[in-house]
Chains A and B, each alone.
Chain A
Amino acid sequence: MSAKPHDNDLRTPLKIARGLGSAKSGTHHFMVQRVTAIALIPLVIWAVWLALTLVHADFAQAHALLQQPFNAFVMILFVVAAFWHAQLGIQVVIEDYVHTHWLALTAQVLVRFTCILAGFACVLAVARIALGQS
């Protein structure tokens, strides 16, 4: 266990915590995690259907499948909901199990960056597939 933020502080833990209050944003996290979870139920079923359709598909077939407006649209909904839900979930896992402050902070930022980057890359990729020439 490495040093925690207040290790060399002469104040008692209560004195440090008093007056800080809660972060006042926990409910929002809770709600968004559940709303994305509800959205992901039908989206995941659709994604499994799509994945099964893609078994043995060559490039042209896979490209044509995702080029259909409905599939492109739902895929964008799916990746946004999935990466959002993933970020919220991993955030809690890090908060619960990584007790080294700088490591937890670094991990949180990296996970956020990765999810946002991958999410936007997916949206851009689907847009290119859907709007481009086949």
Chain B
Amino acid sequence: MSTSARPLSPHLQVYRWQIQMVTSILHRITGVALAVGTLLLAALLISLATGPQSYAVVRDFCASWIGNILLLGWTWSLAFHLLNGIRHLLQDAVMGYAINQFVRNSWLSVFGSLLLTALIWACVFMRGGAA
């Protein structure tokens, strides 16, 4: 089979960037990021079942600057994947397929996720900050 040198999907090199593909790509990237983030949740639950010393390790990691950056990234990933996921579910129900609706809803996912992230972190800071 002499097919191995053919260009493969997703053919990024031949497309002009547009919001429809940005949200599609971001949905996958945030999904993979969230899968990794769920492992931190697993670590938190296991540490809570183990004892105060293990819990302190997970808590210190979350309170560190790198933990804070990761948590901020996971918050946005969660917000985006949630809103864009709802958009995908509505599309599965054959809603929002007109091009203008598709573009508008894609932007709604992007800006909505930023707004949701800001809201969640406003709550974090109202509770006395992340650290």
Interface residues of A, Cβ cutoff 8 Å to B: 1, 3-4, 6-7, 9, 13, 34, 37-38, 40-41, 44, 48, 52, 55-56, 59, 62-63, 66, 75, 79, 82-83, 86, 89-90, 93, 96, 99, 114-115, 118, 121-122, 124-126, 128-129, 132
Interface class of chain B by DSSP: helix
Q: How far is the CA of A83 from the CA of B59 in the complex (A)?
A: 22
Q: How many A-B residue pairs have CB under 8 A?
A: 97
Interface class of chain A by DSSP: helix
Set B32, B49, B88, B124: member contacting A128, Cβ < 8 A: B49
Which residues 59-84 of B have a CB within 8 angstroms of A?
Answer: 78, 82
Tell me how far the C-beta of B67 lies from the nearest C-beta in chain A, rounded to whole angstroms.
13
Size category of the B interface is: 35 or more
Known pairs A52-B123, A86-B34, A125-B48; A7 contacts B28 (CB<8 A): no
Known pairs A44-B82, A62-B55; A118 contacts B1 (CB<8 A): no
Q: How far is the CA of A126 from the CA of B34 in the complex (A)?
A: 20
Q: Which residues of A contact B16 (CB under 8 A)?
A: none
Check if B9 is an interface residue, CB within 8 A of chain A.
Answer: yes
Q: How far is the CA of A122 from the CA of B41 in the complex (A)?
A: 8
